[in-house]
Amino acid sequence: MRRFQPADLSNRLRQPGPAPLLLDVREPWEYDICHIEGSRLVPMGQLPAVVDDLEKDVEIVVICHHGIRSRYACQYLASLGFADLINLEGGVEAWATQIDPAMPRY
C-alpha cells in the first residue's frame, strides 16, 4: 500500500491517462456533506459485499475522513489480492484544508 498526501493525489488526477478509482469508505451522511469529485461511495461495512465488483489490477485510492478507516480498508483489500492501493493520508479533511478550501468540513 502506498500513501498519498492530498497534493500527491491532486497531481495524480491531473496526469493524462486513466484516473485511479477513488473509493470513499465513509458513511453516506459523510459523503453527502463533502466528497472528492468522481469518488465512488462504498461504506467500509459494505466492502465485503462489493469487493467482487472491483478490479484487482486497477489503481485504487481509498478515502475516508482522516485516513484511518481508509488505511484499514486498504489492508483488507490487500489481503484479498488487490495490489495497487493508495491510502489518502489525512482524508477529505486534509483535502479540504490543502487542496479545496471551499469544500464543506465536518
Phi, psi (degrees; rounded to nearest 5) at 23: -105, 105
> What's the CA gap between 57 and 100, in Å, rounded?
29
Going by pLDDT thresholds of 50, 70 and 90, the confidence category of residue 3 is very high
DSSP for the chain, written as a single string: -EEE-HHHHHHHHHSSSPPPEEEE-S-HHHHHH---TT-EE--GGGHHHHGGGS-TTS-EEEE-SSSHHHHHHHHHHHHTT---EEEETTHHHHHHHHT-TTS---
Using one digit for the tens of pLDDT, what is the confidence trace for 6-59? 999 999 999 999 999 999 999 999 999 999 999 999 999 999 999 999 999 999
pTM for the full model? 0.96
Q: Is 74 an annotated catalytic residue? A: no
Q: Give the model's pLDDT for residue 74.
A: 98
> What's the CA gap between 66 and 93, in Å, rounded?
6
Using one digit for the tens of pLDDT, what is the confidence trace for 70-85? 999 999 999 999 999 9
Q: Give the model's pLDDT for residue 96.
A: 98
> What's the CA gap between 54 and 32, in Å, rounded?
22
List 64, 74, 77, 85, catalytic entry = 64
Q: Give the model's pLDDT for residue 84.
A: 96
Region 2-98: CATH code:
3.40.250.10
Q: Give the model's pLDDT for residue 45.
A: 96
